[in-house]
Amino acid sequence: MDAERGTQTVLITGATDGLGKAAALLLAENGFRVFAAGRSAEKRAQLDTLANEKKLSLETLGMDVCDDGSVQRAVNLVYQKAGTIDVLINNAGLAYVATVEDMTMEDWRRQFETNFFGVVRVTQAVLPKMRERRSGRIIMISSVSGLVTPPTQGAYSASKHAMEGLSNALRHELYPFEVKTILIEPGYIVTNIQQTAVQVAQPYQEKIKSGPYAKVYAGSWSGAKSSRRKSKTTPEDCARVILKAIRAPVPQARYGVTPLAATLKWAKRLLPDSAIDAMIRRRYGIMRQG
C-alpha cells in the first residue's frame, strides 16, 4: 500500500519479545521505519543493540498498554518523530491458564486489560490521524483461541474472541476512511508466552494439583505439551504472514498462521459445534468423572 509515499512507519506493541520482536526485525529489514514498544527496559535495550548492530531503522519505546498516559505518550512520541503511523500492530498479550470457576475476578480483569482493553486503548490513540489521512492498517494479533476454546483457556480465548468482534466492527466503521483492519490468527508458536502463562498460574497450583478440576488441568497441560512438541512454526514464520498482510493490495480479513490454524478455519466452517467439541475433548483428555 502507498508504496509511492516512501518509508512506512509501523508501531508494534509488545515488540520486545516473541512474535512482536520477530515482526519488528523483519519489517525493519524490509524498509519500514519501526517503533517497537514494550514495558521491559532491559529487553528494549537488547533490541536496540541488535537493531544498531544490524543498522536497522528500528527504535524501541516504553509503553504499557494497560496505562492510558503511557499509551498516549508513546503514540505522541512516534508522531513527533515520524509524523505518521501507517501501520499499527496490536500484539502485546499474555495468557492466563485457569478454569472459569477457579480464576479470580482480578485475574479476569488483568487478562482483558492487556489483551482487549489495551488493544482498544492503543487503537483509539492512533485512529484519529489514520482516519483523517484516509490511510492505514491495523493488524490484530489474535489467535486460533479466537476461533475455538481449549479447556482452562476460557479467559485468554474470551479476550481473543473479543478482539475478533472488535476487529469485525472496525472493518465496517473504517471502511469509509480506507483504514483496513486485519486479523492474524496463529496456533501454537514457542515464545515466552508459555513461560509467562506458567508464572501467572502460580496462585492456582493447589487447585491445579488437587482441586475438583485437577483432571481437566492435567489434560490441558498434556495437550499443551503435545502442541509444543509438534510446533514447527517459528515467530519468523508469523512475521512473514504479517508482512504479507501489510503489503497485500487487497488484504484478507484474517490470516491463519500454523497448520492448526488452517485446519480449524475449515473445521469451523464445515463441522457442527458438537464435532469440534468432541475433537477438543479428545485432544485434552476431557471425560466424564465418577
Ligand X SMILES: NC(=O)c1ccc[n+]([C@@H]2O[C@H](COP(=O)([O-])OP(=O)(O)OC[C@H]3O[C@@H](n4cnc5c(N)ncnc54)[C@H](OP(=O)(O)O)[C@@H]3O)[C@@H](O)[C@H]2O)c1
Q: Which is nearer to ligand X, 39 or 283 (CB)?
A: 39
20 binds ligand X (CB under 6 A): yes
Angstrom distance (rounded) from CA 118 to CA 122: 6
256 binds ligand X (CB under 6 A): no
Q: Which is nearer to ligand X, 146 or 219 (CB)?
A: 146
C-beta atoms surrounding 250 within 10 Å: 6
- The three cell numbers of residue 286 are 476431557
Among 1, 9, 10, 13, binds ligand X (CB under 6 A): 13
196 binds ligand X (CB under 6 A): yes
Per-residue contact flags (x/-) with ligand X for residues 58 to 87, judged by CB under 6 A: -----xxxx---------------------
Angstrom distance (rounded) from CA 149 to CA 277: 9
114 binds ligand X (CB under 6 A): yes
Q: How far is the CB of 141 from ligand X (least distance, A)?
A: 4
Tell me which residues in 126-145 interact with ligand X (CB under 6 A). Answer: 141, 143
* Catalytic residue set: 156
Q: Which is nearer to ligand X, 214 or 243 (CB)?
A: 243
Q: Which is nearer to ligand X, 118 or 136 (CB)?
A: 118
Per-residue contact flags (x/-) with ligand X for residues 91 to 110, judged by CB under 6 A: xxxx----------------
Q: Which residue is nearest to ligand X (CB)?
A: 18
Q: Which is nearer to ligand X, 135 or 227 (CB)?
A: 227
43 binds ligand X (CB under 6 A): yes
Residues that bind ligand X (CB under 6 A): 13-14, 16-20, 38-40, 43, 63-66, 91-94, 114, 118, 141, 143, 186, 188-189, 191-193, 196
